[in-house]
Structure 1
Amino acid sequence: MFRRLLVCLLLPGLLIASSAMAADAIQGNWTTESGETASIAPCGGGNFCITLKTGSYAGKKIGTLANSGGVYKGKITDPSDDKTYSGKASISGATLKMSGCVLAGLICRSQNWKKQ
Structure 2
Amino acid sequence: MKTVLRLSILALALSGGSAFADTIEGQWARGDGNAKVRIAPCGSDICAINTWIKPGTPKEKTGDKLVMSIKPTSDGEYSGTAFDPQRDLTYKLTVSVKGASMTTKGCVLAGIICKGVNWTRIN
- TM-score by length of structure 1 reads 0.65
1:72 matches 2:99: no
Q: Which has the higher contact order (CA 8 A, sep 6+)?
A: 2
After TM superposition, the structure 1 = structure 2 runs for residues 1-116 of structure 1, keeping only pairs within 5 Å, are 25-34=23-32, 35-45=34-44, 47-55=45-53, 56-64=60-68, 65-70=70-75, 71-76=77-82, 81-116=87-122
- Superposed CA RMSD in Å reads 2.5
- The structure with more radius of gyration: 1
**Aligned-pair CA distance for 1:87:** 1.1
103-112 vs 74-83, which moves further: 74-83
Matched to 2:108, the amino acid is V
Q: 1:7 — aligned with what? A: none
Pair 90,105 (structure 1): closer, same or farther in 2 beyond 3 Å: same
Pick the structure with more helix per residue. 1
Which residues of structure 2 form unaligned runs of 5+? 1-18, 54-59
* Count of residues paired in the alignment: 94
Q: Deviations over 1:22-62 (max 9, x none)?
A: 757111000013431111001233x3211111115111112
What percent of counterpart residues are identical?
A: 35
Which residues of structure 1 form unaligned runs of 5+? 1-21
**Aligned-pair CA distance for 1:109:** 0.8
